[in-house]
Amino acid sequence: MQPHLAFTNFLGKRIHLGVCGSISAFKSLELLRMLQRTGAHLSATVTPSAARFVTALSFEALGAAPVYGDMFDHRDAVFGHLDPGQDADGFVVAPATANALAKLACGLADDMLSCQALAFPGSLVIAPAMNPRLWNAAATQENLAKLKERGHVCIEPECGDMACGEEGRGRFPQLESIYLQALKAVTKQDMAGRKVLITLGPTREAFDCVRFWSNPSSGTMGAAIAVAAWLRGAEVTAVCGPVNLWLPEGINRIDVTTAREMFDAASENFPSVDAACFTAAVADYRPANPQQDKFKKEQGGLNVEFKANPDILKTLGSQKTDRQFLIGFAAESSDIEGNCHKKLSAKNLDLIVGNDVTAEGCGFGKATNGVTVVDAKGRSESWPVLPKSEVGWRIWDWMLGL
């Protein structure tokens, strides 16, 4: 899993996983492990059909508890059909078959899983997987529409080759999509109604048709901040430099390459947002006269003249309104807190996060970061080296606390 998705702050949450009879059932074991790494407790129900593909013992061996099967096989849990509805914070059905969708839509309760789902008071997260003809059947689509109308989260299956040899929509959704929707279902939506803008990653400034001036930013920190805001209910727009990072479909992603492209995208979206967090490692300069052709060694020495790029953070900071909250990042190699205080004032920020890119476990391309945080009210803190996902979550906690 990419580091910006590896959240670990769900200790005390319980997620119940329902597994139906599909060839994709074995993938639910990996989903279980992904969710366990967040600190959440997992329980499961394996339908008799699913047990033909993967056994209840497999889930028990991986730490799920309790694990239910047939309705009448659990003498020590007489009211197991009501259990998740009483104690679970979230309920995921993955994979969900066409038969399961029909039961859930019609309120049938003739087995353990359907009864538990009917008794669960919250919204279900449903990840269908089936043959494309079953998926496209009118009855299946009507059942899906009913479930969505009731507020359940239905993750569309993917297109591709099926186990049966056919091709079309019906493949088990990407595990990361199910994982994040499960986490969102158990997350307090304390950023609901807020619009958030994030910039992340490096920019690239070409000096011929194949070479560019850039930096080693991976975009992990900004992506973690973006996903954390989305999990907490915000409407998120992420302006991404050239990075290899997966983001959920719920995030409006705008891909750019150069600093000027990032400036244009950020400037266009900034007036409509409530908060912005600019984490991108933007190239301060660009080659003034990039060559259209590839530079050849035979041409002699390489001399590149540079021009300044627009300062995105300072420009938009000067346009910030009283209703907007602006967060900046400072990648430094010395005097972190001093430089943070200077940039906080110079760029009209509400909060700045500085990190020493030379420190162990920090900086570009790392899954962790150790930061100093300073706000406009004079409060400052230095945090130990933490997963970037945890840093991102804490930054929004700080904003909400001001």
User: Can you name the residues that pair with 380 across neighbouring β-strands?
Assistant: 374
The candidate with the shortest Cα–Cα distance to 9, out of 44, 37, 34, 43, is 37
| Residue 362 falls in the annotated catalytic set | no
Binding region for CTP: 284, 294, 310-313, 329, 343, 347
C-alpha–C-alpha distance, residues 158 and 175, integer Å:
11
Which residues, in sequence order, are CB contacts of 211 under 8 Å at separation 6+?
A: 294, 295
In which region does residue 397 sit, left (phi positive, over 0), alpha (psi from -120 to 50) or beta (all else)? Answer: alpha
C-alpha–C-alpha distance, residues 261 and 239, integer Å:
10
Residue 207: how many other CB atoms lie within 10 Å: 19
Binding region: 284, 294, 310-313, 329, 343, 347
Structure token pair of residue 186? 């158990």
Identity of residue 151: G
C-alpha–C-alpha distance, residues 282 and 319, integer Å:
19
DSSP letter string, 197-242: EEEESB--EESSSS-EE-----SHHHHHHHHHHHHTT-EEEEEE-S
Q: Which element (helix H / strand E) includes 141?
A: helix 138-149
287-319 burial by CB neighbour count: b if 16+ within 10 A, else e? beebbeeeeeeeeeeeebeeeebbbbbeebbee
Catalytic residue among 106, 159, 164, 209: 164
Active site residues: 164
